[in-house]
Amino acid sequence: MKKIILLFAIVALSANYASAQKSQKKAAVQKVDSITVNAAELADLIVSDAKKYLGRPYVWAANGPHAFDCSGLTKFIYAKFGYKLGRTVPGQMANGREVQGGFHNLQKGDILIFGSRGDKKRPGHVAIFIELDSTKNNFTFIHAASKGVRIDEYKTTYYRERFLTAVRIIPDFVQPAPAAPHTKEQLDSIYSNVVLPPPPDTLKLDPADRRVVLFDDGTWVMVGENGEIIRPKEENKEEIVVIYGNGTWRDIPLSQKRIPEKREDIVAAQAQRPAPQQPEKKYHTVKSGDTLYALAVFYKTKVSEICRLNGIKETDVLKLGTKLRVK
């Protein structure tokens, strides 16, 4: 009986020891798995892990690790970091948050959605975003393409035409791009309700701000520094006021300043001017040995002008007795 009890005790101790060893081993694994990393570091780990499978062949519906299709690769990689993604492209689109603001707001590790080969607008392909290049107009991504797991660029015509959107699985760590500046319509809307202060109801002029007001009948008045109107004295007809561009003015004798004519006088004077005289016409009768060049030299004109006046070409043959206008 004692032997049986002792045997049970030994078995129990062995079981407890094995359980303790197993628990210690499990605790060690959990400790490794529970290492805390920030979102940026997590994105680096995701991309680095995906790059380990570069060159693996593409096989439709393959889940890895020896072969992949596009959604099989993303599902396989993200599962390593505790994220359970759908097996299809639409399913993985539903797993994440759509990235707003275009690809300038993408961050490493985002899942890119491309149109299918047969329909550019229908989601049919996924990839993992790596980074923007220095121009900020192109980016690289890793995916399982028809030629296997590889890295490609957005600027490639095939992918540029099919890029639809992106979804984010991990937490945000990239600051969104600044909002676009206001459009003209938005600015008009903002400032349409701005009320400007009313203009002053009084006017004060400095001495340098004095002005002369001319009337249609040829009379004039001067505006004083307080805004009052000052008419010229009758006995001061031999003086006029000249205003300069800088706002200053002075009186000068009439003999030193020519007063412009009234508009109607100008119009009448123009009507009385004789019409400009037309240049005197000159003609030449073609004689033996005449050429257009010789005539142009003799009459101090140009060959092209003689041709224009007579409607001929420089290559035309001059006929004897023809009357040409040379002026």
User: Has residue 35 got a pLDDT over 90?
Assistant: no
**Is-contact 50 78, C-beta < 8 A?**
no
Of residues 26 and 101, the one with the higher pLDDT is 101
Average pLDDT over residues 267-276: 61
* Contact of 227 with 204, CB cutoff 8 Å: yes
- For the ranges 195-204, 231-240, 275-284, the maximum mean pLDDT occurs at 275-284
Is 312's pLDDT higher than 80?
yes
More confident residue, 47 or 276: 47
- For 223-282, give the secondary structure using H, E and C: ECCCCCEECCCHHHCCEEEEECCCCCEEEEEHHHCCCCCCHHHHHHHHHHCCCCCCCCCC
192, β-bridge pairs: none
Q: What are phi and psi of 265, to 5 degrees?
A: -65, -40
Mean pLDDT of the chain, nearest integer? 75
pLDDT at 118 over 80: yes
Q: For the chain, how are helix, strand and coil distributed in percent, rounded to 5?
A: 35, 20, 45
- Catalytic residues, by residue number, are 70, 125, 143
- DSSP bridge pairs for 123: 115
Is it the case that residue 109 has pLDDT exceeding 90? yes
CA angle 275-281-285, nearest 5°? Answer: 170
- Comparing 46-50, 134-138, 260-264, the range with the smallest average pLDDT is 260-264
pLDDT of 291 above 80: yes
More confident residue, 43 or 314: 43
Three-state SS at 105: helix
Domains of the chain, first to last:
39-168 (3.90.1720.10), 207-256 (no CATH), 283-325 (3.10.350.10)
**Residue 74 in this model has a pLDDT that exceeds 90:** yes
Lowest mean pLDDT among 64-73, 82-91, 165-174: 165-174
Would you give the DSSP letter of residue 235?
G
- pLDDT at site 236: 47
> What is the pLDDT confidence band of residue 9, given thresholds at 50, 70 and 90?
very low
pLDDT tens digits along 145-183: 999 999 999 999 999 999 999 999 998 886 655 555 556
Residue 22 clears pLDDT 50, i.e. is over it: no
Least confident of 157-166, 210-219, 236-245: 236-245
